[in-house]
Structure 1
């Protein structure tokens, strides 16, 4: 079983999601779209592999917006084409934050600015706790997805849709993969200013994630296990 994990930059790591796939015996390959040396100039060419060569594709988060064509137009359209091809061929997809938004956009939905940013631990209202538990889940986003035709929303809050399923695929708005190490990387590469702009303190977020990490890993294991069980039906 081969899984392709798409990290859109060197700071978007597979974290707890990647670890759980390895626990289940998956052969995990990571593709980094924007290398570290192009982080400030992310409009790079990227040759995405044929998704039919994989049993699972997991597009991860990104500091950019799906709609930010001026900054990432060289690769965002090819990625959406790849995700669409995967879905049409019944290759399961698990889209996380930007990846969930990209999945929605690829299948005929859209992405728009959310009414407010969500940063930190946020509970969600869920229709199926075996698929997406109530959390709290870690959030760090400014945009939100609008569901593609045929998708079923399975979780939400007052800001946006938080999870949907379509076929054998699922998109989530939050970050089940998050670890203390990954958040530290985000904060150390410009995220600290974003956090402060929302009236939050980076040090407090780090304290919270260190306290919450073990419980968050347990919630992610349930999410990944449930997803893998459903995609093999």
Structure 2
């Protein structure tokens, strides 16, 4: 299977998603549309992963709009799509739903709570990395998958092949350090989780996050 990854900033890579791909014998291609403008075609894509980034789906940039053209084609083809943070927002925006400021800016580690039993063997409570101040509306045709204490719309599942998460399960310890040291001012400005970059690094990554990331990918890929 060819997994095409859309990466939107140098310090937010695929993390454990890349390990999952390697362990399953898939081929991963990582695109940087914000820098080079290149995107895969739908015919070249067996699974699409849309990572986070500092931009908003509401920004008026051609490559952001072109991403949504690709997403729509893959939705029509019923291919697996996983979106994290900005990526989840892009999926919702493609479906015609609003992206707006969240009631709270969440930067750091905080619990998320499972809201659906559609995917088996997911713990009811997990600790995830949050790095956002916008949120998506959950599409009417999708099901709410996760919520947090501060923001209800934290994840959705659409049919059996599309998952969008407002937070991050994919980073491992090195990835968290990379995110925090390169974007160290972001947690300091009106952060409702009240965590600094140093505190975020020191927290460590819960071992179960990788396991759950694998389960989510297995679920949408097994079609």
Report the TM range for the smaller structure's normalisation: 0.7 to 0.9
Q: Match of 1:170, SS?
A: strand
Report if aligned partners of 1:130, 1:226 keep a CA contact under 8 Å in 2: no
Match of 1:162 among 151, 154, 176: 154
In structure 1, distance between residues paired with 2:27 and 2:142: 28
Deviation at 1:131, TM superposition (A): 6.9
Match in the other structure for 1:229: 219
Deviation at 1:132, TM superposition (A): 5.1
Instruction: Return closer, same or farther for 1:153/1:182 CA change in 2, 3 Å cut-off.
Output: same
Match in the other structure for 1:202: 197
CA RMSD in angstroms comes to 1.9
1:47-81 per-position Cα deviation (integer Å, ceiling 9, x unaligned)? 32112322100000001121232xxx121111111
In structure 1, distance between residues paired with 2:121 and 2:154: 12
Report if aligned partners of 1:58, 1:95 keep a CA contact under 8 Å in 2: yes
Instruction: Return closer, same or farther for 1:3/1:29 CA change in 2, 3 Å cut-off.
Output: same
In structure 1, distance between residues paired with 2:77 and 2:63: 21
Deviation at 1:104, TM superposition (A): 0.8
Q: Match of 1:183, SS?
A: helix
Match in the other structure for 1:23: 23
Report if aligned partners of 1:132, 1:154 keep a CA contact under 8 Å in 2: no
Q: Which has the higher helix share?
A: 1
Deviation at 1:46, TM superposition (A): 1.4
Deviation at 1:31, TM superposition (A): 0.7
Match in the other structure for 1:68: 59
Match in the other structure for 2:9: 9
Q: Could you tell me the TM-score, scaled by structure 2's length?
A: 0.88
Match in the other structure for 1:77: 65
Match in the other structure for 2:43: 52
In structure 2, distance between residues paired with 1:63 and 1:132: 29
Aligned residues between the structures? 215
Match of 1:121 among 109, 113, 121: 109
Match in the other structure for 1:87: 75
Question: 85-94 or 146-155: which moved more?
Answer: 146-155
Q: Could you tell me the TM-score, scaled by structure 1's length?
A: 0.84
Structure 1 residue ranges without an equivalent (≥5): 36-44
Instruction: Return closer, same or farther for 1:230/1:179 CA change in 2, 3 Å cut-off.
Output: closer
Report if aligned partners of 1:101, 1:145 keep a CA contact under 8 Å in 2: yes
Deviation at 1:203, TM superposition (A): 1.4
Match in the other structure for 1:179: 172
Deviation at 1:107, TM superposition (A): 1.5
In structure 1, distance between residues paired with 2:37 and 2:133: 25
